[in-house]
Amino acid sequence: MLNQSSNISVIVGAQWGDEGKGKITDFFAGEADYVVRFHGGNNAGHTVIVNEKTYKLHLIPSGVVYGKPTSIIGNGVVIDPKALLDELDYIKEKGIKPKLMVSDRAHVIMPYHIAFDKALSSHQGQLAAGSTGRGIAPVYADKMFRNGIRIIDLLEPNVFEEKLKKGYSFTKNIIQKALNQDFNIAFDQILHDYLNYGKKLTPYIYDTSIELYNAHTTGKSILFEGAQGISLDVDHGVYPFTTSSNTASGHISTGTGVSFRNINRIIGVVKAYLSRVGESPLPSEIHGENADFLREKGGEYGTTTGRPRRVGWLDLVQVRQAVRVNGLTEIALTKLDVLNNFKQLKVCIAYDINGEKVKEMPASLTQYRQAKPIYKTLSGWEDLPEKIWEKDFESLPDTLKKYVAFIENEVGCSVKIVSVGPQRHETIIR
Ligand code: IMP
């Protein structure tokens, strides 16, 4: 049940990540008092363009590029402290004074997690998701093993050393003995470096759950910024080709300590076509001329790794699941301008799995591997009229409006925000 009177909104990815969440978050962030990340780590990559300046962020919420909001990194996020300090420097170099609070309970990515991530990917072979190599799976695994190190521990040298001894030897043994790979990371170096990171991060460390509770009860506005997308959710996504956190909106409660009961708006960001960086079957993937065109025009290269993204037609089986699982109240449809000048556009409405029409994401890997897209072909549109964002939704080409209406009808959720260019102002609100 959504709380109509609250001031809490959420933005989540409704596909494979890289839907344009950074831009949509930024669009609302200027108004928010708090912008909050609740899961994932610096595997995420958010591109925000404001006043023709481009910002590439991985860990700090996109709202930081504005003066007003306080950025919060919640306890459900995993933090590489070196990456966080580098990102703080990057922001300061751009002339921004970051207002940042980091949860004392967030887990810390250690150098041995990064080494483990690489060793793990080669062990997983065909079943590897094509990780970003940032140590995400091992740090979340250590959290669940209750073997992890939290940000607060970096401020307590004795506890840190005690925990580090256990965590270090555990991962070292797995890498060397179970996975038969080299391990060349020195314990003393980690001890020294991480205590130093802790000192530098001290001014940012808080009990952010209490901060957010107080903010909510005093009527402040809070925006939760999701990373990745629903198909990368470790429970609801295409497992094991997922990330290792819950990307769905439901994780906000545990990932920040803010009750789900208080949320009133959940925006799912859907790109008008599909892209995916990393490995997995991908039923509506396309190759050849159309794929190259989409990749180049849409700038479909990973923000974090620079890898070329695989591209495809919009998959509504995936978006249908995103609407249901996240409880979306609306959709923000992005990058419609990238589709300009296609005579025809295909949209995947269901999968053909062994002759059966399937409209929901299968849990079975066998079935997902066999899934063939069932397409509906819609008419495209030409170049959009100049400065179309200064007009309203009704001024858009009829075929584009039909494309939008078709999506709404198939997935049962309204498209309220239409993005027709990378800049903040290139947006139409319905
Ligand atoms: P990991 O999160 O680095 O473990 O990577 C697991 C899978 O999630 C891989 O397929 C990555 O390419 C994908 N992934 C992780 N973060 C992002 C993101 O921010 N955008 C898109 N894909 C991501």
Among candidate residues 241, 289, 222, the one with its CA nearest the CA of residue 61:
222
Residue having the nearest C-alpha atom to atom 1 of ligand 1 = 131
Tell me, yes or no, whether 187 and 122 share the same domain.
Answer: yes
From its phi and psi, is residue 23 left (phi > 0), alpha (psi between -120 and 50) or beta?
alpha
In this prediction the pTM is 0.96
Assess whether the C-beta atom of 174 lies below 6 angstroms from ligand 1. Answer: no
The answer as to whether 42 is a domain residue is yes
Q: Is 113 a catalytic residue?
A: no
Other CB atoms within a 10 A radius of the CB of residue 364 amount to 10
Tell me, yes or no, whether 422 and 300 share the same domain.
Answer: yes
Tell me, yes or no, whether 144 and 277 share the same domain.
Answer: no
Q: Is 46 a catalytic residue?
A: yes
∠91-277-101 over CA atoms, to 5°? 30
* Among 203, 228, 254, residue at a domain's last position: 203
Pocket probe for ligand 1: among 15, 25, 232, the residue whose CB has the most ligand atoms within 8 Å is 232
Total residue count of the chain as it appears in this document: 430
Residue having the nearest C-alpha atom to atom 15 of ligand 1 = 43
How many angstroms is it from 231 CA to the middle of ligand 1? 10
The answer as to whether 374 is a domain residue is yes
Tell me, yes or no, whether 385 and 253 share the same domain.
Answer: yes
Number of domains in the chain: 2
CATH number for 366: 3.90.170.10
Q: Using the atom order of ligand 1, give the atom closest to the CA of residue 305.
A: 12
Tell me, yes or no, whether 299 and 421 share the same domain.
Answer: yes
Are the C-beta atoms of residues 238 and 283 closer than 8 Å to each other? no
Assess whether the C-beta atom of 321 lies below 6 angstroms from ligand 1. Answer: no
Q: Using the atom order of ligand 1, give the atom closest to the CA of residue 136.
A: 4
| Helix (H/G/I), strand (E/B), else coil: 12 | strand
The answer as to whether 321 is a domain residue is yes
The answer as to whether 305 is a domain residue is yes
Residue having the nearest C-alpha atom to atom 9 of ligand 1 = 131
Q: Using the atom order of ligand 1, give the atom closest to the CA of residue 131.
A: 5
Tell me, yes or no, whether 240 and 335 share the same domain.
Answer: yes
Assess whether the C-beta atom of 57 lies below 6 angstroms from ligand 1. Answer: no
How many angstroms is it from 228 CA to the middle of ligand 1? 7
* Among 179, 203, 227, residue at a domain's last position: 203
The answer as to whether 354 is a domain residue is yes
What pLDDT does residue 3 have? 59
Tell me, yes or no, whether 180 and 323 share the same domain.
Answer: no
Assess whether the C-beta atom of 230 lies below 6 angstroms from ligand 1. Answer: no
Are the C-beta atoms of residues 36 and 225 closer than 8 Å to each other? yes
Catalytic: which of 18, 117, 142, 233?
18
Q: Using the atom order of ligand 1, give the atom closest to the CA of residue 40.
A: 2
For the chain, 430 residues long, give each residue's pLDDT as a single digit of tens. Answer: 455 567 999 999 999 999 999 889 888 888 899 999 999 999 998 878 777 788 889 999 988 988 789 999 999 999 999 999 999 999 999 999 999 999 999 999 999 999 999 999 989 999 999 999 999 999 999 999 999 999 999 999 999 999 999 999 999 999 999 999 999 999 999 999 999 999 999 999 999 999 999 999 999 999 999 999 999 999 999 999 999 999 999 999 999 999 988 899 999 999 999 999 989 999 999 999 999 999 999 999 987 788 899 999 999 999 999 999 999 999 999 999 999 999 999 999 999 999 999 999 999 999 999 999 999 999 999 999 888 888 899 999 999 999 999 999 999 999 999 999 988 889 999 9
Catalytic: which of 46, 58, 216, 251?
46
CATH number for 126: 1.10.300.10
Are the C-beta atoms of residues 210 and 204 closer than 8 Å to each other? no
Describe the strand order of the beta sheet including 205-206 as a list of residue ranges. 205-206, 100-103, 70-73, 34-37, 222-225, 8-13, 265-271, 330-334, 415-419, 427-429
What pLDDT does residue 276 have? 95
The answer as to whether 383 is a domain residue is yes
What pLDDT does residue 2 have? 56
173: containing domain? 107-203
* Among 184, 203, 222, residue at a domain's last position: 203
245 bridge partner residues: none
Tell me, yes or no, whether 30 and 127 share the same domain.
Answer: no
Tell me, yes or no, whether 272 and 254 share the same domain.
Answer: yes
Tell me, yes or no, whether 48 and 114 share the same domain.
Answer: no
Tell me, yes or no, whether 150 and 69 share the same domain.
Answer: no
Tell me, yes or no, whether 114 and 86 share the same domain.
Answer: no
Q: How far apart are CA 255 and CA 126, in angstroms?
A: 31
The answer as to whether 271 is a domain residue is yes
How many angstroms is it from 240 CA to the middle of ligand 1? 12
What pLDDT does residue 22 have? 83
The answer as to whether 2 is a domain residue is no
How many angstroms is it from 43 CA to the middle of ligand 1? 6
